[in-house]
Amino acid sequence: MLILEVQGCSVGDLACICPSTACRPGEHLRICPQGYTCCTSAMEENLANRSRAELESALRDHSRALQAVLAAQLRSFDDYFQQLLNGSERALQDTFPGAFGELYTQNARAVRDLYSELRLYYRGANLHLEETLAEFWARLLERLFRQLHPQLLLPDDYLDCLGKQAEALRPFGEAPRELRLRATRAFVAARSFTQGLGVAGDVVRKVAQVPLGPECSRAVMKLAYCAHCLGVPGARPCPDYCRNVLKGCLANQADLDAEWRNLLDSMVLITDKFWGPAGAERVIGSVHVWLAEAIDALQDNRDTLMAKVIQGCGNPKVNPQGPGLEEKRHGGKLVLQEKPATGTLERLVSEAKAQLRDIQDFWVSLPGTLCNEKMATSPASDERCWNGMAKGRYLPEVMGDGLASQINNPEVEVDITKPDMTVRQQIMQLKVMTNRLRGAYGGNDVDFQDAKQEGQKTSAASCPRSHALLLLLTLVLTVAGPRWR
């Protein structure tokens, strides 16, 4: 317990217990009003340090609580999306060996690699999903074509010719195209949403580390403990007085509000892409379905495909050591159904929307929240509250939110020309993430890791079409608005 003493007066824990008449003149005080006081200079300094530490602790507590909410949401969605993809791979491993035999077992590694790349893509790796899928189908076609025609000699240049004609020949039917269209939208929506949760939590963590300035420390000391030094410890701070102090202290943090809201709105909007035929729930959990359709189509069209390949690439030589012509299928036909919705994602999205709605005004509501919960302000009707000078009404108006609004703050001297750079950097991070989410809403393949570097390397003049599209999409999203329910 902190015990400070001077000439028979004491400060025990939070209260200065003074006699009915103050102990001494207060010309030595640097923060509190210089009336009669029971505080020495050392006591005032210690209380100033204490008040600053208490406010910083309260800010950390609120920040940690918000980080915990965002981290829990991130874990829930990440676990669910990972379970969908893992479930698809397990279903493939359970059904493909019996249905396709060697057509699958000899290519199991290539399929495993595809799932590994899908996981990396979901986690934000620098992969272009369409190119990844195209490379997978090209490799699989070469291997399966050789397996289906072991009686032929198929050198690399012949398979290169086959690959060049693959788009026109459609050896796997519509499966590659369907998977490409649906997977691009589904995976980019899933990973942009979880990335948004991660960025939001990271912004909160970094902003919580922003130190309080010296002018804020003085104002908080005056708010919290000067009444004790003047012998009126029972006077609680006036509500508007407390808000002005904390609006000045947290002016930079309040400037996060606009981009914070934009980010949360964009995250709510992207959840629309979780539903429907190209929705994350159906697509991520059903990758194996398109793989089965592709192998079925290749076997069904084997002879027709061979004839067309001969027309375009010539007649391959017969392999003298290979088996004779085989007319039978190398495996059975596998018909699978897309994974039905379980309701889990719908519940997760509903919970996320409710929590994101609750934290929308976190930054601008923080001064009022701290005043109510930590500063024990008096009721608004109390005309004998502590106003920073004495017991009485607090007359100045409450300042607005943000740095620019503090130019005339009567309680905290704020230099509005010197914004905190950490906060400004986090505002930029929110903008970058919001733009990624807006791109994802349009189904664009978003590169999370290199987006910022790409933007630095590419001038605005070099891509006017992209900027125009992004502006148009922003306007559309603004009109649409997020569906919070």
pLDDT of residue 197: 97
Query: From first to last of its 485 residues, what are the pLDDT tens digits of the chain?
Result: 233 333 334 444 444 444 444 467 667 877 888 777 788 888 888 888 899 999 999 999 999 999 999 999 999 999 999 999 999 999 999 999 999 999 999 999 999 999 999 999 999 888 889 999 999 999 999 999 989 888 888 888 988 998 888 888 899 999 999 999 999 899 999 999 999 999 999 999 999 999 999 999 999 999 988 888 888 877 889 999 999 999 999 999 999 999 999 999 999 999 999 988 778 888 999 999 999 999 999 999 888 999 999 988 888 888 777 665 454 445 556 766 666 667 889 899 999 999 999 999 999 999 999 998 877 666 766 778 899 998 889 999 999 999 999 999 999 999 999 999 999 999 999 999 999 999 998 888 655 444 444 444 433 333 444 444 444 444 444 445 566 55
Q: Strand order in 15-17's β-sheet?
A: 3-6, 9-12, 15-17
Which ranges of 101-128 does DSSP label H, i.e. alpha helix?
A: 102-105, 108-122
Strand 3-6 relative to strand 15-17: parallel, antiparallel, unpaired?
unpaired
Assign 382 to helix, strand or coil.
coil
pLDDT of residue 373: 84
Q: How far apart are CA 384 and CA 226, in angstroms?
A: 15
Both structure tokens of 248: 């000045």
CA atoms within 13 A on the CB side of 395: 3
Please list the residues that pair with 391 across neighbouring strands.
386
pLDDT of residue 287: 94
- Exposed / middle / buried, residue 219 (Cβ in 10 Å: 0-12, 13-18, 19+): buried
Both structure tokens of 447: 């590169």
pLDDT of residue 442: 86
pLDDT of residue 453: 43
Q: How far apart are CA 341 and CA 228, in angstroms?
A: 62
